[in-house]
Structure 1
Amino acid sequence: MRLGYSALRILALVIVVVVVLATLGAVFWGTHAASGEEFYHSSLSRNTSPSVSPVDQAELVDGNSSFALDLYRVVRGSEGNLFFSPYSISLALAMTYAGARGSTAQEMAEVLHFTLPQERLHPAFNALDLALMAQNSENFRLNIANSIWGQIGFEFRQEFLDVLALNYGAGLRGLNFRENPESARVRINDWVSEQTKGKIKDLIPPGAIDALTRLVLTNAIYFNAVWEHQFSENLTADGVFTLLDGSQITVPTMSWPKGERIRYTEGEGYRAVELPYRDTTAAMLVILPESFEEFEGTLTAGRLREIVASLESQNVIVKMPKFRFEFPLDLTETLAGMGMATAFSDQADFTGMAQDRLKISKVLHKAFISVDEKGTEAAAATAVIMELTAVLPPPITVSMDRPFIFLIHDTSTGAVLFMGRVLDPSG
């Protein structure tokens, strides 16, 4: 069949539009046939072979470690056990940082120790993620997942979505925060639970998402590893554990039947041992201070590097308590207090995300860990919740610097109770 001239013009126009959309990485709202969930289509997918120099990778890791120790020093004041994933928090905030501009971006970079420029930072995170997950095997499982959840119909900048798609594998899923925030909250929590094998539930509590919410950025990490040198369950027995106040409790304590060749070091006021996992370069570093509170208060990224550098292979017998707990953290006030307050204020500049003004309303984190004779299971998730700012016009100045009339009235009825004028305020 031969097409007429008009038909050929229409066909050519359609082809041009399709090519332009593909070139620009254009997106549009659609509905997933199986789930009925709104999501963003995009021609862009994750870059699985990012070109990142070893120098950039090392700089990113050093910065993340510095942030981890900074955050630890701030949150250690809470009572009892403490456990969190600084990597999960850094990842979620790195996605948020991709849309930050001006002083908001500057403050975030300083607090998070993001020293690389944006065009090198996000590929470095991508390369690090891929390198970590490449070690997965029968004895080692690490899953890192990112997702972004946006208000259906809200206009997000294409450049922002491209950065997240290319470097974090984060697709934009549509939810109706405006009309059904509770349903949206449940959906995000269900995704987090799925990604963490059910270990992190109810990350976002009721009320944290409301009708002003426009974007939620989430990261979830699941870790499951087998000890290189497993503890024998037959040797696990009650052992004494001395608390900070000097009192003692009895807890199930694991032990090896004989010494194992593992890395160990000791220095002024501490001993440290590294427990390796099987089929991976991951390991658990345990530091045992003589004076816990004194050591904890002075632990920095630099000192941690020195401890790790001094580890040497020695014959070591390890006795270690079994433990299992989860720990929630609301980091909203914590991060603001650390120096990125603008991101949480109505002066926040996230214009790299969208034209409409957005600010961070909440940063929520929850982590779980279980250590037993076989190995370690751990999970963590972070949610950064963005909402519309209450943008106010510049204030109007009214100066009573000339004669004026005034009255006192009842605002509900309009009745004028008093009235007068001021010609000379001095009397």
Structure 2
Amino acid sequence: MTVASNSIILSPMASQVNGSNVVFEEGIANFSTSLYSKLDRTGNEFISPYSITSALLLLMLGTGKTTKNQMKSVIFEYEEPDDIDHGYKRLNDELLTRTAKGVSISIANRLFARKGLNLLNTFSTKATTYYGSDVELLDFVTEAEQSRLTINDWISKNTNNIIKDMIPKGVVDANILVVLVNAIYFKGTWKKEFNKNDTLQRNFFVKNEQKLVNMMYGEFDAKSGEDLSLDCKILQLPYQGNQISMVFVLPNSGDGLSELESKLTIDNVDSLVKGLKTQKTLIRIPKFTMTS
């Protein structure tokens, strides 16, 4: 299987959802595909719907009835869970158990509030209990720059020093009441690693034109398959421990990515993955680095 397109759809896949939390998890999955469909996909895109969801749900703790109902209707478009906060904690705790040798995951939330802001105890307690988010008071009025550096240092620490200057100068000032931050860090080693000596230049489609790029190569047993209705190939590569994997979806046509993306829903993505079979697979994947 040759994975070649001007974008690659990446999805860290968990195992089967816990039955008692299925409404919450399906809601988050549907929101993720809805969010992806709204992106202006003119090039390579890299997003974390789960990170965005974490921040929105934490924010929702502090909203009143009208705003809360509006937010819930967007995040949980089809069915609302009985207990959203408990559902988040269950999913978050479950994801954090998926570490293994060669696989690291950390998920952190934090609220930075302006000194003097009176936050309700019920809000602070729920933020800590369900979202693991303490509230740190900062002086946005007289120490705006130091506050910005404090927030950026927290983000850097919780992303293994990868994201160092998230908030640029001038953003934090006396008008800010609360800064809400979510940081997710993941690093994984393939269960079956590619041989570096087998990386060769091959043609890759970039904006419907072929371009020579370095391609990782391997031929081994992997979960793969093809879907005729979506006219695409699918490949699932697990990380060590078999608890998390990356899923590649490849249109059969070099210019078929946009059409494929327009057809993807959480239901057919789920069907694509469930329909894969372990078989000898020829794999070529472009080496890539993305920063956003």
Specify which of 67, 85, 92 is matched with residue 122 of structure 1: 85
Deviation at 1:135, TM superposition (A): 2.2
**Does the CA-based 8 Å contact 1:140-1:280 persist in structure 2?**
no
Q: 2: CA distance between counterparts of 1:108 and 1:184?
A: 29
Of 247, 253, 257, which aligns to 1:285? 247
Q: 2:46 aligns with which of 77, 83, 101?
A: 83
Backbone CA RMSD of aligned residues: 1.8
Greater relative contact order (Cα < 8 A, sep 6+): 2
Q: TM-score, normalised by structure 1?
A: 0.61
Aligned to 1:136: 99
Partner SS state of residue 231, structure 1: coil
Verify the 8 A CA contact 2:145 2:172 in the aligned structure 1.
yes
Residue of structure 1 aligned with 2:67, choices 99, 104, 110: 104
Q: 2:274 aligns with which of 286, 309, 317?
A: 309
Q: Is the 8 A contact 1:227 1:275 kept in 2?
A: yes
Offset of residue 159 of structure 1: 0.6
Quick one: structure 1 residues 264 and 317, their matched pair in 2 at CA, closer, same or farther if it must change by over 3 Å? same
Partner of 1:73: 37
Offset of residue 181 of structure 1:
2.1
- Number of residue pairs aligned between Structure 1 and Structure 2: 271
2:195 corresponds to 1:229: no
Aligned to 2:261: 296
Structure with max Cα Rg: 1
Report the Cα distance in structure 2 between the residues aligned to 1:150 and 1:237, rounded to whole angstroms. Answer: 51
Write the distance in 2 (CA, Å) between the matches of 1:125 and 1:56. 12
Which residue of the partner structure matches residue 238 of structure 2?
276
Which 10-residue stretch deviates more, 83-92 or 130-139?
A: 130-139
The alpha carbon displacement at 1:233 in A equals 0.4
Q: What residue is the counterpart of 1:154 in the other structure?
A: 117
Identical pairs, percent: 28
Cα deviation for residue 78 of structure 1 reads 4.2
Q: Name stretches of at least 5 consecutive residues in structure 2 with no aligned partner.
A: 1-16
Quote how far apart the aligned CAs of 1:259 are.
2.5
Give the superposition deviation at 1:56: 4.5
Structure 1: gaps spanning 5 or more residues:
1-52, 328-427
Alignment deviations for residues 15-43 of structure 1 (CA, whole Å, 9 cap, x no partner): xxxxxxxxxxxxxxxxxxxxxxxxxxxxx
Distance 2:242 2:185 in 1: 15
Name which of 268, 281, 287 aligns with 1:322. 287
| Runs of at least 4 residues off by over 6 Å | none
Tell me if 1:215 matches 2:175: no
Give the SS at the match of 1:218. strand
Output the CA distance in 2 between the equivalents of 1:280 and 1:91: 25
Inter-CA distance 107–216: structure 2 relative to 1 (3 Å threshold): same
Shift of 1:267: 2.8
